[in-house]
Chains A and B, each alone.
Chain A
Amino acid sequence: MVRVSGKLRDVLRSLTRREVVDQVRAVAQPIVMVVVAYVGFLNNSPQVVVVASLALLIYTAYVLSWYVSRTVELRRVNVDLRAQLMSRGDSIKVNAPEGVRVRPVASRHFEVKGGEMTLKWGGVARLLGLLLTAYDPLTGLSISTFRGLKLAVPTLVGSLEGLGASASTLLESGVEEYRGLVEYDYTKPASRIHWPSSARINELVAKDYSEEAARLIVSIPALPDLLTEGDVRPIDRVLMALEGLARRYGLIRVMLIGPGISEGINVTLGEVPLVEGLLVDAYSWARDEVEVERLSRLINAPIEEAAWVVYPRPRPVEGGWDYFIANAMGHLAIIPSEAAEYAVQLRRRGIEVLVV
C-alpha cells in the first residue's frame, strides 16, 4: 500500500499542474453525466435518464470522433520539402493540421519556430522526426506521437550572391569556356584582347569565350574513396547534390581534382550522371603512371589536344585528400561525410563546403 502511494506521488510529481487538471477533467466530465443518469434512475424518472444518456452519448461520440480524426491526421503530417538541396535561410514547413503542436527532432542546423524550421547552418541538416501533440482543451484529452522521417537535407551555406567577394571574382573571370583566339570585335570589352598575339600579327586579337557561362564552379575530389562499393556509395550522394545544384543554377562547372587529375566539365541537369563516368575514367588514367607522365607533357600542347590537363604528380607526402584540399577551386566543394574533417580547411581557403 505504501509502495503504491509512493508511486502515485512520483507520478503526480512528474505531471504539471495543467496535466493533473486535464486528467481529472477527462475523468470527471463523463462521470457527472453518468451520475445525473443514476439520479434519474433512483428518482423513478426515465426522462432524466434518457436526456442524461443522450448527453453522455453526444459527449462520447465527440471524444471518439476527436480521437479517431486526430490519430489519422497525426499520421498524415508531413514536411514540405521544396528541393533536394537547400540554402541557409530557407525554411521547411510542417503541414500539420490546426491545433497540433509540432516539435521537430532535428540537428542544430535548424532554427525551430512552431511548425517552421529555418536552416541556419550549411552542411547536411538532419531531421529525425516530429513529435506531434494534439490537445483538446474541452475534454482535456491529448494524443502524442512520434513521426519518424530520417531526412538528410544537403544545405548550401547561402545563395550564390551571398558567397562573398571571392565568389563574385570567380564568376566574372573563370567560368566561361575558353575557345581560342579570334579577331577582336569592338563591341566586346577591351580586357579580352590578347596583347602578345596582337603584337605578333599586328592586328587586334581577342580571346573567344563560349556564350554560355556556368554560374557555379564545384570541386569534387577525384579519389577512389568516392567509388567505394557499398549500399550507398559516396559518389551517389555527390551526384544527388550535383543534381540539386544543376536544377537550381542551370549550368554548373564541375572540377574533378585529385592526385594527377584536374578536369573541368560544364554540365546541365541531364548530364550530371556523366560525372561518374568521367571520374572513373580519370581515376583509371591517373593510376597508370606512364599515362600520367604522357598526359603531363600535354600541359603545353594546344588546347584541343589537352582534353586532360594533368597536373604534375603529387609529392609523396600528399595523400589523396591532402591534394584535393590544396588544389580545390571554385565556389563550392562537395565532400562525402566520411571526409567531413576537411571542411574547415576548405572553408579557410575561401571555398564553401557541402558535406554529403
Chain B
Amino acid sequence: MKRWLGPALALVAILIVPLVAPPYQTLLMLPFMAYAVILLGLNLLFGYTGLLSFGHALFVGVGAYTGAFLTHRFGVRSLEAILLAAALLGALVAAPVGALCVRYVKIYFGMLTLAFGMVFYTFVLKFYALTGGDEGIPFARPLLLGRDLSAIPKTDYLNGPYYYYCVAVLVLATACMWRIVRSPFGLCLRTIRDNPLKAEALGISVPRYRWCAFVISAVYAALGGALLGPPTGNVDPTLAYWTHSGNLVFMTLLGGFTHFYGPVLGAFVFIYLQDFVMSLVPYWRLIFGGLLALIVIFAPTGLMGLIAPSR
C-alpha cells in the first residue's frame, strides 16, 4: 500500500501540471520525462548490474537522430513508428558495442563506453551531408496515434497532446522496468553486481547477462532520446557529446542509484534546478560541480536515500 503511494501521488502531480503550472514550467516537464526514461535504463546497468556507462549519450543520440531522420528525410511522422525504430536501432547499435564493452568492468568499461560515445559524436559532427554536422537536423512535429496536430500552436501541442503522450510512455517504461528488476533476470543482474565470481559458480553467465542489461538500457536511452527531439524541434551532436553522458550519470547520482525511482527524481531535480540556476547566474556548471561533490561526500545514496532510506 505505502509502496504505491509515492509513485501514485507523483503520477497524479505529473498529470495535473499542465492544468495548474505556467506553460514554461510545463514545457520543462518534457525533457524531464524523456530523461526519466533514459535513466531508468541507465540504472538497470549501473544500480542493478554494477556497470557505469560514460557513453550513454551515444544511444540517446541514436534515438534522437532516428526521429529526426524519419520525420525530416523520410517523411515518417508517426511517433509510434519513430519510437519503435529508435528502440530497434538502439538495440542494433548496442548489440556489438555491448558485446565488446561487457568484457571489461569498472573504469575500463566506463572508458570503453566513453570511447564508443566519442566515435559516434565525431561521426554525426563530421558527416555533414548526412547529419547536418554541428547544426543538426530538424525534428518535425510527429503525429500522435496517427493524428496530425500540425494546426495547433506549438506550445499547445507540446503542453497538451505531446505532454500526455510522454506521460504514457514514461508510465509504460516504468512499469516494464519495474517488472524487469523484479524478475528472475533482475535477480541474476544483482548477483553479478555484488559478486561476479560467486555468480559464475552458481551457473550464471556474467557476460551474457551484462550484455542483455546493456542492450535494454540502450533501448531505453534511444526511446528517451527520440522523445527529446520534438520539444526543441532540432537534433544536434551535443546530444551525443560526452558531457551529456556525464549529465546522465550526474542525474542518477543526484536522485540515487540504489533506489528504483532515484534516477527519475534525479532527472526532475536536475532539469528544474539547472533552469533555476541558469536564470540566476551564467556559470551553472560551477554550481552543479559543487553540488555533485556534496552528494558524493554527504549523500552517496542521493536524494532518494535521504527521503526513503532503503532497508
Instruction: Indicate whether A and B interact.
Output: no
Interface residues of A (CB under 8 A from B): none
